Amino acid sequence: MADGSVKKIAAALERRIAEEPSATVFLLLHASDLGQEQRAAIDRAGFVVRHQTTIIPCYAVSGPGAGLRALMREPWLVRVEEDGEVETM
């Protein structure tokens, strides 16, 4: 899915999405910038923005894994990771 020399997604997550592209995934989309252009691209890919953070520019989204293919070409997308619960010590 990734193009260029920088890997935007972990291989395990990429494989899982490829195996079940229609399954709903919960992702964190780390961005170089936040704005209407990014929100429009996320909407076009079939994802719903559940939350947005500004300290670390990031969108928490849910939607079909297949939609990620279009987003991977976006220059503002820095990294993709699976969203989930975080435990602190």
Q: In this predicted model, what pLDDT tens digit does every residue of 31-84 receive, in sequence order?
A: 999 999 999 999 999 999 999 999 999 999 999 999 999 999 999 999 999 998
The amino acid at residue 61 is V
Reported pTM: 0.88
Rounded alpha-carbon distances, angstroms, from residue 12 to 41, 45, 65, 77: 24, 21, 13, 19
Cβ distance 41 to 70 under 8 Å? yes
**CA gap 13, 67 in Å, rounded:** 14
CATH number assigned to the domain with residue range 11-82, chosen from the 4 options 3.30.70.80, 3.40.50.1370, 3.40.50.10860, 3.40.50.300: 3.30.70.80
pLDDT given for residue 5 in this prediction: 45
